[in-house]
Amino acid sequence: MVLDMGCGPGYFTTEIAKLVGKEGKVIAADLQQGMLDKMIRKVRNYGFEKRVEAHRCESERTGIEKTVDFILTFWMVHEVPDQHKFFEKMKSLLNPGGRILITEPKIHVTKRDFSSMISRLESAGLLIIDYPHIVLSRSLLLTVR
């Protein structure tokens, strides 16, 4: 199972649904119902309704209780008010051996801000295992320490 955290209109959701296959599941989570509605329409156009579960988060809590093997957070962590709490929650959602890919936009997240974020995720018990190169982004691949 994969969590597309902050899925927006589903840009990555449909691609993840392709990757997980007919037996796989994707939780597409976002704060905004409008974004989830767009994602749902896109998923339907691809015929992936059975693979994707839409989930609306609350402003102070994700409300997600299922555990997953992979979490994608693409260009959204910089918008989270309490990143330490967010990282602790993401850690709690990972199955053993699970991974998190955090990708942040260079245009909004400075090197200093990214370093501060790294301190918060490490203090939450996450371990950096790679720094993938993603265009126009600062990225980390993480697991549980």
| Last-in-domain residue among 22, 44, 60 | 60
Q: How many residues does the chain have?
A: 145
Q: Are residues 108 and 44 in the same domain?
A: no
Q: Is 117 exposed, middle or buried (0-12, 13-18, 19+ CB in 10 A)?
A: buried
Query: Which tokens is 17 given?
Result: 């649904």
What are the angstrom distances between the C-alpha of 89 and each of 26, 48, 52, 115, 119?
18, 27, 21, 20, 16
Q: Are residues 2 and 47 in the same domain?
A: yes
Q: What is the pLDDT of residues 101-133, one digit of tens each?
A: 999 999 999 999 999 999 999 999 999 999 999
Q: Are residues 40 and 90 in the same domain?
A: no
Question: Are the C-beta atoms of 9 and 43 separated by less than 8 Å?
Answer: no
The model's pTM is 0.97
What is the mean predicted confidence (pLDDT) over 96-103? 98
Residue 57 has pLDDT above 90, yes or no: yes
Q: Are residues 99 and 49 in the same domain?
A: no
| Last-in-domain residue among 25, 60, 95 | 60
Residue 60 has pLDDT above 90, yes or no: no
Q: Are residues 83 and 22 in the same domain?
A: no
CATH of the domain at 77: 3.40.50.150
Q: What are phi and psi of 3, to 5 degrees?
A: -110, 120
Per-residue burial over 9-23, b = 16 or more CB atoms within 10 Å of its CB, e = otherwise: bbebbbebbeebeee
Q: Are residues 50 and 78 in the same domain?
A: no
Q: Are residues 144 and 76 in the same domain?
A: yes
Residue 59 has pLDDT above 90, yes or no: no
| Last-in-domain residue among 60, 77, 108 | 60
Number of compact structural domains in the chain: 2
Sorted by sequence, the CB contacts under 8 Å of residue 15 that are 6+ apart come out as none
Q: Are residues 93 and 129 in the same domain?
A: yes
Cα(112)–Cα(89) distance, rounded to whole angstroms?
Answer: 24
Q: Are residues 74 and 143 in the same domain?
A: yes
At 66 the pLDDT is 96
- Percent share of the chain, pLDDT over 70: 100
How many Cα neighbours within 13 Å face the side chain of 38? 12
Nearest to 104 by CA among 92, 114, 115, 94: 114
Which residue range is the domain that position 50 belongs to? 1-60
How confident is residue 12, by pLDDT bands cut at 50, 70 and 90?
A: very high
